[in-house]
Structure 1
Amino acid sequence: MKKYLFWRVMQIIPVLLLISMFVFGLLYMAGDPVALMLPEDATQEQVDSLRASLGLDQPFYVQYFHFVGDLLRGDFGYSYRYNQPALPIVLERLPATFELAFSAMFVAIIMAIPLGIASATKRNTFLDIFISGGSVLGKAMPNFWLGIMFILMFAITYPFFPVSGSGSFAHLILPAITLGTASAAEMTRVLRSSMLETLNQDYVRTAVSKGVRNTKVVNLHAFRNALVPFITITFLQTSSLVSGALITEVVFSWPGLGQLLIQAINGRDMAIVQASIFMVAFIVIAMNLFADILYRVLDPRIRYD
């Protein structure tokens, strides 16, 4: 396990290096940042002076090495819009994104567990077909479209919930359901498959033949042993929820990292864009690593070579 963990962590380094190349390339695709910082009537001497002070007059590879060195110190540059370092601004928005992502995960779990169990225990019935079809539909619907439909239905036509912003539990309900629907669909399908496999095991059939109540067989024997792949997909979905929250935040004007990133892209504030993308990528990688480790802890039969 220690050897696997060591090599798994070492694999993160080249991934982060590739991400840093991508993030650094955003600066060049966005155009000359000097043109954004200076007024239109700036002289050529002022332009050249600012480019030299920012190190933009140096070759591409030299700028990239300086960029990587700044990353190792946690320096993603200076936001000209907020007039302060970019990383603290991004970290300030992360709690709101985590709040939305974990609320959506809670919604997904309380939806997926009963639906997955019901679909597995009522296999090939109308209920199973209905739940399976709903899972496919829930996975196929884009978050932004579903969010707009929720706003039209439950915030405008029937004003039960606030249409945007944050500050109360009511503000969280529609974004959490919107974001959690796709994850609930995926988790329902995984739990159904795992439950069906477990229900066909010999020890389950033995319990049924001994006259054990069906609810006890399902909840005590089958469900507990079907949890390993379900918990794994749960943590894998957590990383997807953090990245998927970016779009949902824009739809509901949720004050998280997603709204900050879109505003930075529209304003071409590349320091914020770079810090946001790198932070989201790091969170996704870390959650995938944690899911791998948890999988091994939950099922000691698994060995990593």
Structure 2
Amino acid sequence: MKKYITKRLLEIIPVLFIITFVVFVLMYHAGDPVAMMLPDEASQEDRENMREALGLNDPFIVQYGNFLKDISTGNFGESIRYNTQALPLVIERLPASFELAGVAMLVAILISIPLGIWSANKRNTVTDLFITGGSVLGKAMPNFWLGIMLILILAVNVQIFPVSGRGTLVHLVLPAITLGTSIAAEMTRLVRSSMLDTLGQDYIRTASSKGVPYFKVVVSHAFRNTLIPVITITTLQLSIVVSGSIITESVFQWPGLGLLLVQAVNARDMAVVQAAVFIIAILVIVVNLITDLIYVLIDPRIKYS
């Protein structure tokens, strides 16, 4: 296991290198940062002096080398909007994003697992059709549309929940439902499919023929063997949580990393964009590694190699 972890950690290095290169190239061709930093009335000489001071007149490879040198020390530059270092600003927003993502995943799990199991046990019935149809509908609904509908109905008309902001558990309800719905839709279909495959196995029929209560057969035998694909899809949904949170945080003005990234892109705040993308990439890599380590705890048949 130690060798496996070491190998995976070493594999992260080239991945991060590629990510830094892609991010730098995108920012390199995104426009002239000097135009954003200086007022319109600034002279051409002032612009050239600032470009020289920032190293923007250097060749591409030199600029990229300086970029790698800076980020190796955690220096992504200074935000032109907030006048502070970009990395601490991004890290400051992480707790809010983790809070929203964690509650959204909890909402998705609480919805998808019971519905997936119920749908599998009611195969080809009206209940199954209703659940699978609801899953397709939930997957098809855009996050921003669902968020706006929830705001109009539950925040504006009924006035049960606040429209936006962060501070109490009540503020979490609408954003978490908005973000968790699409995740729950995908997970429900996977749980249903995995349960159907497992319920058709010989050992399930054997357990039932021995008089084991059906509920115990489903929960202790069938569902346990569906955990690996469920954990897999849950991990893969992280990308949806990250991308979806950008929209959700913007709709509800949730002060997390997603909202910061949108504001940075609109303001052409390159330093913040680079820091945010880099941190998101690291989070995805770390979660994938943790998921691989969890596999062996659930299924002893899986060995590290």
Deviates more, 1:143-152 or 1:225-234: 225-234
Hey, what does 2:42 align to over in structure 1?
42
Deviation of residue 130 (structure 1)?
1.2
Q: Does 1:286 align with 2:261?
A: no
d(CA) in 2 for partners of 1:42 and 1:7? 52
Hey, what does 1:30 align to over in structure 2?
30
Q: Which amino acid aligns with 1:19?
A: I
Q: Which amino acid aligns with 2:220?
A: L
1:112–1:185 Cα contact (<8 Å) kept: yes
Correspondence 1:1-305 to 2 at 5 A: 1-303=1-303, 305=305
d(CA) in 1 for partners of 2:43 and 2:192? 67
Q: Which amino acid aligns with 2:112?
A: A
1:231-250, CA deviations, whole angstroms, 9 ceiling, x for partnerless residues? 23223323431332111100
Identical counterparts, % of pairs: 63
d(CA) in 2 for partners of 1:240 and 1:11? 23
2:116–2:192 Cα contact (<8 Å) kept: yes
d(CA) in 2 for partners of 1:38 and 1:216? 69
2:124 is paired with a residue of what secondary structure? coil
1:76–1:274 Cα contact (<8 Å) kept: yes
1:42 is paired with a residue of what secondary structure? coil
Deviates more, 1:125-134 or 1:231-240: 231-240
Q: Which amino acid aligns with 1:56?
A: L
TM-score (normalised: structure 1): 0.94
1:103–1:176 Cα contact (<8 Å) kept: yes
Deviates more, 1:10-19 or 1:201-210: 10-19
d(CA) in 2 for partners of 1:192 and 1:2? 35
1:98–1:242 Cα contact (<8 Å) kept: no
2:249 is paired with a residue of what secondary structure? helix
1:239–1:288 Cα contact (<8 Å) kept: no
Unaligned stretches of 5+ in structure 2? none
Deviates more, 1:224-233 or 1:144-153: 224-233
1:232–1:291 Cα contact (<8 Å) kept: yes
d(CA) in 2 for partners of 1:141 and 1:43? 50
1:239–1:283 Cα contact (<8 Å) kept: no
d(CA) in 2 for partners of 1:131 and 1:297? 31
d(CA) in 1 for partners of 2:29 and 2:250? 23
Could you say what the CA RMSD is over the residues aligned between the two structures, in angstroms? 1.7
d(CA) in 1 for partners of 2:4 and 2:247? 35
Unaligned stretches of 5+ in structure 1? none
d(CA) in 2 for partners of 1:271 and 1:91? 13
Q: How many residues align?
A: 305
Deviation of residue 3 (structure 1)?
4.2
